[in-house]
Amino acid sequence: MSHSHPKTRFEPTRIAPETFLVHDHHGEGTAPVSVALNTMVIRAAEPVVVDTGMMENREQYLADVFSLVEPDDVAWVYISHDDVDHTGNLNALMSLCPNATLVINWFMHERMGASLDVPMHRWRWMQDGDTLDVGDRTLHLVRPPVFDSPTTRGLYDPTTGVYWGSDSFASPMATPARHVSELDQRDWVGGIHTFARYVSPWLELVDDARFQRTVDRIEALRPRVLVGCHTPVIDGPFVAPALIAARQAPTATVPAQPDQSVLDALQAALDPAA
């Protein structure tokens, strides 16, 4: 795949006091849409790094994180779930941050196997419903409504109203964006439906009333900012429509995923001799 298109560069975005979204994205110039690959830094009394990005972006990821917090000061590395776009720099970050404790859970360690290369004495296992004291605030682990790994827990900071939804509230972007206000608003809502159904096809199977209670749980936090790995920043007046779009995801009509005929066309375009 060609990477001749220069990658749009976003410096970290301050989303709340001492709270920053660290940007990356995938697909620009090579796919019809881009997908954000964000992570977060909370400069609490005990600083927290939330998710660790893609291995392919390691150099920029580490530079961005360490532009916000010194390696020795990182106290917590919080992993929302064990997918490669959230764990790509986990081992590297933990080896560069000697004072950090890794917040995972039992099933993450089971699923990651030997790819988790951090000694057990540096782990902490925490589940949905648990709280993490980081010195000047207590963070709440809250499972988001949409997820593609059974290990998923979001993270809510009641002092700023920032909720990290992991793979929830995600949408593709026509072009890389910092904030959902930059997206065509109909594309954004449709993109939340589509992304949710692609990462969580089981949404079609759920009892809708029970699903709505999972969104109620997030709404009850009264989040001021919704962030996650795969969405530009959602804040202010954009929070309510994002929650509504999440509520609609199980029953919305979404486009089919590209199939073999699309791959045939891609292969033919790349190889004119075929």
List residues binding Fe ion (CB under 5 A). Answer: 83, 85, 148, 167, 229
Q: Are 211 and 203 in contact (CB under 8 A)?
A: yes
Our CB check for Fe ion shows the closer of 44 and 164 to be 164
For the chain, give the number of residues. Answer: 274
Tell me the residue nearest to Fe ion as measured from the CB: 83
> How far is residue 30 from each of residues 6, 88, 230, measured CA to CA in Å?
11, 21, 17
Our CB check for Fe ion shows the closer of 46 and 171 to be 171
CA atoms within 13 A on the CB side of 176: 18
Q: How far apart are the C-alpha atoms of 267 and 201, rounded to whole Å?
A: 27
Q: How far is the CB of 23 from Fe ion (least distance, A)?
A: 14
Q: How far is the CB of 79 from Fe ion (least distance, A)?
A: 11
Among the listed residues 112, 9, 101, 108, the one whose alpha carbon sits nearest the alpha carbon of residue 59: 9
How many secondary structure helices (H) and strands (E) does the chain include?
8, 15
Helix axes 185-199, 239-248, angle to 10 degrees: 50
Q: How far is the CB of 13 from Fe ion (least distance, A)?
A: 18
Our CB check for Fe ion shows the closer of 44 and 199 to be 199
Q: How far is the CB of 17 from Fe ion (least distance, A)?
A: 26
Our CB check for Fe ion shows the closer of 46 and 83 to be 83
Q: How far is the CB of 172 from Fe ion (least distance, A)?
A: 13
DSSP E strands: which ranges in the chain?
A: 13-16, 19-22, 25-26, 35-36, 39-42, 48-50, 76-78, 101-104, 123-125, 131-133, 138-142, 154-157, 162-164, 225-228, 231-235
Our CB check for Fe ion shows the closer of 36 and 74 to be 36
Our CB check for Fe ion shows the closer of 18 and 167 to be 167
Q: How far is the CB of 74 from Fe ion (least distance, A)?
A: 22
